[in-house]
Amino acid sequence: MDQKTRQADQEERWQAFNTRDSAYEGVFFVGVTTTRIFCRPTCSARKPRRENTEFFDSKNAALHAGFRPCLRCKPMQITNEVPALVEVLRKRVESDPAARLREQDLLEMGIDPSTARRQFQRYFGMSFHAYQRARRMGAALAAVKGGMNVLDTQLDHGFESSSGFREAFAKVFGAPPSKSGDVHCLLSRWIETPLGAMLALADDAGLHVLDFVDRRGLEREILRLRQRSKVAIVPGPHPVLDQAEQQIGEYFAGKRLRFTLPLAERGTDFQRAVWQQLLQIPPGETRAYAGIAKAIGQPSANRAVARANGDNFRAIVIPCHRVIGSDGSLTGYGGGLARKQWLLDHERNHTAQGN
């Protein structure tokens, strides 16, 4: 790149580093020349002076330049490490979703409740109490749907009164336990990747959402999904989520460039036509919005194609990052242009290697 472009790129990275912008996670690394330490863009350590920083496209480049990894942000890890406390509590909940851990139980485990609340909020975007409650209610719904009577379900899932159980059940699922047959749930999972965490939502119909948790508009899309489809969203296991986590892991490891995940039907006829065209773009290649519009038989619908592209919310699996402007520019991407460039480079590199 020319000097002017390089300076603009360096300035963009400096701003991202200063604001700890998670959209740049894995896109570049920062070396501090005074300490010879290199960090992730999201490192929480005190920021160095601008003249004391160098930017690297990969951790190997930083290592080869003589920098050692930061002990705070651990840039050598493939993904951000799950906080030990979060993992302990998550496993405890998964071992018995119907159980109820109160503050006193946490204290007896040697865990400060406020610390648990903060760490869960930071990592999962919800408090430990909210996570536990969602899993408990999800297990209760499964039990009622499986034929267990309401009273037994109430007692088995830690509710002391039937009214309290009905109220909590209706608040989460929008219907009383007696109407459980009409309740539809989407199961959710948080998936770590080298470019930051992704949120996956799925049910028996397939994958509904898979996108970066800091992606613009994701919260709004989830709200629309809940209201439009009248679904409850709770954390829990599902085979489609298992497949999504495995295949996304293989993608970032360079072992997979195409996906075989079942995709839930969603969107308008026009959106589905656009998304189907996205699936036809080979890894390592790109298409212009105009080309997509022409392929679906609506050559003047460039802007509508761009909107449908932005409404995908199944990132990487439906490769909206492979669509660029007619002039070759990257143009918009909900997960950030830096991620888009990284994904394209990743696919080109592994296509060249025959993966």
Quote the DSSP letter at residue 327: T
Per-residue pLDDT of the chain (355 residues; tens, 9 = 90+): 566 777 888 899 999 999 988 888 888 999 999 999 999 999 989 999 999 999 998 887 888 888 988 988 888 776 666 778 888 888 888 787 777 788 888 888 888 888 888 888 877 777 887 777 777 766 655 555 544 433 344 444 444 444 444 455 555 555 444 444 555 778 888 888 888 888 899 999 999 999 998 888 888 888 888 777 777 777 778 999 999 999 999 999 999 999 999 999 999 999 999 999 999 999 999 999 999 999 999 999 999 999 999 999 999 999 999 999 888 888 888 888 889 999 999 999 888 776 5
Q: Rounded to whole angstroms, how far apart are CA atoms 332 and 192?
A: 23
Is 185 in the active site?
no
Q: Which CATH number among 3.40.10.10, 3.30.70.2740, 3.40.120.10, 3.30.870.10 corresponds to the domain 3-69? A: 3.40.10.10
Amino acid identity, position 181: G
CB 127 within 8 A of CB 121: yes
Break the chain into its structural domains and give their ranges.
3-69, 81-182, 183-355
pLDDT reported for residue 108: 87
pLDDT reported for residue 155: 40
Closest to 322 (Cα-Cα) out of 330, 334, 314:
330
The residue annotated as part of the active site, out of 39, 43, 73, 185, is 39
Q: Rounded to whole angstroms, how far apart are CA atoms 92 and 111?
A: 13
What are the distances in angstroms from CA 329 to CA 37, 279, 321, 323, 326? 34, 20, 12, 10, 7
Same fold, 81-182 and 183-355: yes
pLDDT reported for residue 29: 94
In degrees to the nearest 10, what's the CA dihedral of 300, 304, 306, 310? -170
Rg (C-alpha) for the chain, rounded Å, is 23
Q: Rounded to whole angstroms, how far apart are CA atoms 338 and 297?
A: 31
| Locus of tokens 């890890």 | 77
Q: Rounded to whole angstroms, how far apart are CA atoms 188 and 235?
A: 5
Q: Rounded to whole angstroms, how far apart are CA atoms 290 and 14?
A: 34
- Paired residues of 29 in beta bridges: 56
CATH architecture group of domain 81-182: Orthogonal Bundle (1.10)
CATH class of 183-355: mainly alpha
pLDDT reported for residue 83: 78
- Paired residues of 211 in beta bridges: 199
Amino acid identity, position 58: S
Tell me the three-class secondary structure of 183-207, residue by residue.
CEEEEEEEECCCCCCEEEEEECCEE
Is 39 in the active site?
yes
Q: Rounded to whole angstroms, how far apart are CA atoms 53 and 304?
A: 42
pLDDT reported for residue 151: 39
C-beta atoms surrounding 152 within 10 Å: 11
pLDDT reported for residue 33: 93
The residue annotated as part of the active site, out of 43, 73, 185, 320, is 320
| Locus of tokens 């439009």 | 228
84 Cβ neighbours under 8 A, 6+ residues apart: none
